[in-house]
Structure 1
Amino acid sequence: MNGAVDLPLGQAELSFEATGGSRVRRSVLPSGVRVLSEQVPGSRSATIGFWVAVGSRDEQHADASGPASLGSTHFLEHLLFKGTPSRTALDIAISFDAVGGEHNALTAKEYTCYYAKVQDRDLPMAITVLADMFTSSLLDPGEFETERGVILEELSMAGDDPADVANERFFQAVLGAHPLGRPIGGNTGTIQAATRGAVAEHYRANYRPQDLVVSVAGAVDHDELIAELGRALTAGGWNLDEPGEPVARRAILPAALAPGQPLTVVERPTEQVNLLLGAPALVATDERRVTMSVLNAIFGSGMSSRLFQQIRERRGLAYSVYSFAPAYSDAGLFGMYAGCAPAKAGTVALLMREELDRLARDGVTADELRRAAGQLAGASALALEDSDTRMSRLGRSELTLGEFVDLDEALRRVARVTVDDVQALASDLAAQPFSLVAVGAIDESAFTGAADQLAPSTDVA
């Protein structure tokens, strides 16, 4: 292929060759189910995912339209493994354990995925079991209460991890009341308040043929996949002959965000302070996402990055320090992280801010741009050695982007990024209102006098 491939919801069939000779095929079934496969030459295993474009951001507070669904997405992630009319929870576990396979699920802010990785000969089994789970979960009342306890323990475990706490508070600080600012897994209150009825309604409303995306990468034959999937979904009670249209993708207009919380301090008796500093950034479909990848590689990804060199190598103020840039359909973030001693937290926060200002003011060098392109090329190529990555690429392409961007095309886009592009984006980021989150043995006095220096920059252009 020579460029990106659009994935129109109304196009029934697509087929093309990707980098390395893999064959990508996509079918939109009459019922609205979307099936994507990437057949990788020489592969002896396959990874399969069942996706829905429903995540924690889609849960609702109670109102006139119905009961609260907060926590339902996380509940379903657990409950779909807990039995169907034809399989117990133990049966599901044994199906994969008996063949050395892996199976799990993940809840994200904008989607949920149930996935498995197996040998090629066991792919029909994986299709059958995942389809049974997806279509026919019992949501047993007893299992519901058992999983309530399990989820509360999971949240307690995350609450004991200061890095997890800092990450959750960072999203809340930057995104505020936007649904993306809510914790993915819910919190103790929402999980305790969740009812089986609300979770069952969430299941019925969002786990339908028109919601389902199935992606498979590795040793897979597309025609056999369609046949196996059809049999499995029909056995689960779905009428695949009933016409339906895939659900529309999310709107891509950036949301109007209220100003973030400037400073959040959570006191914990830890040896280190977990610091996060950042601001609103680009949405997932912004054309500058490629520039953001280059900027992030230069600024805070890897041991040669500016943050690593300035804060760890030259000053020895932190062991772990990096930047990141998650993106969603209508909002995104740019963040910087460091773990450091409480006495150094104020200094580290200012250094992170100053380094971004320097990037915005002075730009990057041609050599840095070249190294970033090489880093992105190598990391992308190595990641695609794993069928999990290829399966996820297919799923995210279908759910969010509406286009498949192959490795060659991705690298061409990186090669078109200029030093001016990076500096312009850095200037835009530096002008945003920043939020600082600190979790550890510290209080707000550690950042006294830093407010003005952490404020949006106006003199970096």
Structure 2
Amino acid sequence: MNGAVDLPLGQAELTFTAAGDALVRRSVLPSGVRVLSEQVPGSRSVTVGFWVAVGSRDERHAQGEIPATYGSTHFLEHLLFKGTAERTALDIAISFDAVGGEHNALTAKEYTCYYAKVQDRDLPMAIGVLADMFTSSVLDPVEFDNERGVILEELSMAGDDPADVANERFFSAVLGEHPLGRPIGGDPDTIRAATREAVWAHYRENYRPQDLVVTVAGAVDHDLLVGELERALTRAGWRLDVAAPPVERRSTDTATLEPGPAVTVVPRPTEQVNLLLGVPGLVATDERRSVMSVLNTVFGSGMSSRLFQQVRERRGLAYSVYSYAPAYSDAGVFGMYAGCAPAKAGTVAALMRTELERVAEHGITPDELRRAAGQLGGASALALEDSDTRMSRLGRSELTLGEFADLDEALRRIALVTVDDVQALAQDLVSRPFSLVAVGAIDEAAVQGAVDLTAPTSDVA
């Protein structure tokens, strides 16, 4: 495979060989259902995912007679496990437990995925159960109210974790009123206000043939997979003979952001302060995403990274410190995290910013660039030993990127990154508005200098 392979929505069939002799096939059925598989030589397990490009960002206010859907995406993720006309919640659980399989789901900001991992011989069962769940959930009113309590407990658990609180507030601060800044799981108010009718409308609107993407990786035969899927969806009552184009992918034009407050402090009586400092990042399709991977690796990924060395090893100011760079279709975030004593929070926050400014001013060394390339290549290769990772890569490629890049292509792109590229990206990032979130026993004045361009930071050099 030379270069990335485009995934046009209008192309019915694609077949190509990826790194490691993995056979990748893609079929766009007349109904708009998209099916992607990656057959991995020597694999005995298989991971299957049912995806829709609907996440927390797609929820909306009430519009006339159309009810508000805030919290519906996460609510629906729970409810699809609670039973169909053919299967109870217990039946669904037993189906996978009886074969030693795993099944779960996740709600993200731009998609929802229901997935399972089983032995290759159990793939037809997994397809059948997931298809039944996806198409035929009954959203039983009693189960609806029961699950409301479960979700509220889940939100309470997250609310008791200061790191989770800091992360949610950080996205809101950096992205402002953009829908990506909202919490994925909703909040207690939206979950309490959610009605079965609103969630049902959300379900029927977004879980249609043209919305469905099925990705399978491991020991899979594509033709058999498509046949099993068509039979399962037909049994569920879907009309696969009715032609419909797949839903269009999201726009990848960078959104105009209006960040929230530069400093957000959430008082908590904790021993540590959870700090997040950062700026708007890159969109998922930005040509500099490989540069961002290198920058993030050098700066805050691993024990040799600059943040780890400066904050933990040289000064002993924190146990956990790192950076990360999530990217979405029209916005992204570059964030730096540390957990530290309240008395050290101002120093740590200023140090994180100063270290990023150093990269912008002086760049990175050729040795750091080589280490980052090795780290990224090795981590990617090890991750791809797992069919879960391969299944997820197929889903992200289809839903967001519109192209498939295998390990060889990813390594080729990383190899093209130069120290000048990394410095230029760092310069771009430090020119963007900084936002800082602190959760713990601290006040705003203690960390204000980290986002105040007029405040001196030389004392942490």
Same fold at TM > 0.5? yes
How many Å separate the matches in 2 of 1:192 and 1:454?
44
CA contact (8 A) 2:48 2:217 kept: yes
CA contact (8 A) 1:49 1:215 kept: yes
Partner in structure 1 of residue 164 of structure 2: 164
Partner in structure 1 of residue 99 of structure 2: 99
Give 1:233 deviation, angstroms.
Answer: 0.3
CA contact (8 A) 2:449 2:456 kept: no
Query: Quick one: which amino acid aligns to residue 418 of structure 2?
Result: T
CA contact (8 A) 2:51 2:213 kept: yes
Partner in structure 2 of residue 143 of structure 1: 143
How many Å separate the matches in 2 of 1:35 and 1:261?
43
Partner in structure 1 of residue 290 of structure 2: 290
Partner in structure 2 of residue 418 of structure 1: 418
Partner in structure 1 of residue 452 of structure 2: 452
CA contact (8 A) 1:350 1:453 kept: no
Q: Give a deviation string over 1:66-109, Cα, whole Å, max 9, x none.
A: 11000000011000000000000000000001111000000000
Partner in structure 2 of residue 129 of structure 1: 129
Query: Quick one: which amino acid aligns to residue 439 of structure 1?
Result: V
SS at match of 1:452: coil
Give 1:152 deviation, angstroms.
Answer: 0.2
CA contact (8 A) 1:263 1:435 kept: yes
Give 1:63 deviation, angstroms.
Answer: 2.2
CA contact (8 A) 1:308 1:321 kept: yes
CA contact (8 A) 2:279 2:435 kept: yes
How many Å separate the matches in 2 of 1:137 and 1:450?
49
Query: Quick one: which amino acid aligns to residue 190 of structure 1?
Result: T
Give 1:442 deviation, angstroms.
Answer: 1.2
2:177 corresponds to 1:195:
no
2:201 corresponds to 1:208:
no
How many Å separate the matches in 2 of 1:448 and 1:329?
31
SS at match of 2:216: strand
2:203 corresponds to 1:221:
no
Partner in structure 1 of residue 385 of structure 2: 385
Going from structure 1 to structure 2, the CA distance change for 1:7 and 1:170 (only over 3 Å counts) comes to same
Query: Quick one: which amino acid aligns to residue 175 of structure 1?
Result: L
SS at match of 1:343: helix
**Aligned runs of 1:58-73 on 2, under 5 Å?**
58-64=58-64, 66-73=66-73
How many Å separate the matches in 2 of 1:225 and 1:350?
54
SS at match of 1:216: strand
Partner in structure 1 of residue 368 of structure 2: 368
Partner in structure 2 of residue 278 of structure 1: 278
How many Å separate the matches in 1 of 2:436 and 2:277?
4
Name stretches of at least 5 consecutive residues in structure 1 with no aligned partner: none
Partner in structure 1 of residue 399 of structure 2: 399
Q: Percent identity?
A: 81
Going from structure 1 to structure 2, the CA distance change for 1:83 and 1:371 (only over 3 Å counts) comes to same
How many positions carry a matched residue from both structures?
457
CA contact (8 A) 2:434 2:451 kept: no
Give 1:64 deviation, angstroms.
Answer: 2.5
Partner in structure 1 of residue 16 of structure 2: 16
Q: Give a deviation string over 1:365-424, Cα, whole Å, max 9, x none.
A: 111111110000000000000000000000000000000001000100000011110000
How many Å separate the matches in 2 of 1:45 and 1:264?
46
**Aligned runs of 1:294-443 on 2, under 5 Å?**
294-443=294-443
Partner in structure 1 of residue 74 of structure 2: 74
SS at match of 2:452: helix
SS at match of 2:247: coil
Partner in structure 1 of residue 173 of structure 2: 173
How many Å separate the matches in 2 of 1:447 and 1:85?
55
CA contact (8 A) 2:353 2:450 kept: no
Partner in structure 2 of residue 183 of structure 1: 183
SS at match of 2:269: coil
**Aligned runs of 1:28-39 on 2, under 5 Å?**
28-39=28-39
SS at match of 1:210: helix
RMSD, matched Cα: 1.2
Query: Quick one: which amino acid aligns to residue 148 of structure 1?
Result: R
SS at match of 1:410: helix
How many Å separate the matches in 2 of 1:143 and 1:223?
37
How many Å separate the matches in 2 of 1:431 and 1:360?
10
Partner in structure 1 of residue 86 of structure 2: 86
Give 1:445 deviation, angstroms.
Answer: 2.8
How many Å separate the matches in 1 of 2:89 and 2:114?
15
CA contact (8 A) 2:449 2:455 kept: no
CA contact (8 A) 1:101 1:118 kept: yes
Give 1:449 deviation, angstroms.
Answer: 4.6
How many Å separate the matches in 1 of 2:436 and 2:452?
13
Going from structure 1 to structure 2, the CA distance change for 1:366 and 1:449 (only over 3 Å counts) comes to closer
Range that drifts further, 61-70 or 376-385: 61-70
Query: Quick one: which amino acid aligns to residue 302 of structure 1?
Result: G
Query: Quick one: which amino acid aligns to residue 376 of structure 1?
Result: L
Give 1:190 deviation, angstroms.
Answer: 0.3
How many Å separate the matches in 1 of 2:391 and 2:267?
40
How many Å separate the matches in 1 of 2:226 and 2:259?
48
The normalised TM-score by structure 2 is 0.98
How many Å separate the matches in 2 of 1:90 and 1:317?
49
CA contact (8 A) 1:432 1:456 kept: no
How many Å separate the matches in 2 of 1:60 and 1:428?
33
Going from structure 1 to structure 2, the CA distance change for 1:287 and 1:454 (only over 3 Å counts) comes to farther
CA contact (8 A) 2:46 2:387 kept: yes
Name stretches of at least 5 consecutive residues in structure 2 with no aligned partner: none
How many Å separate the matches in 2 of 1:450 and 1:83?
50
Q: Give a deviation string over 1:204-257, Cα, whole Å, max 9, x none.
A: 000000000000000100000001000100011101111010000000111111
CA contact (8 A) 1:433 1:456 kept: no
Partner in structure 2 of residue 250 of structure 1: 250
CA contact (8 A) 1:148 1:191 kept: yes
2:41 corresponds to 1:41:
yes
Give 1:443 deviation, angstroms.
Answer: 1.5
SS at match of 1:328: coil
The normalised TM-score by structure 1 is 0.98
Query: Quick one: which amino acid aligns to residue 216 of structure 1?
Result: V
Q: Give a deviation string over 1:121-174, Cα, whole Å, max 9, x none.
A: 111000000000000000010000000000000000000000000000000111
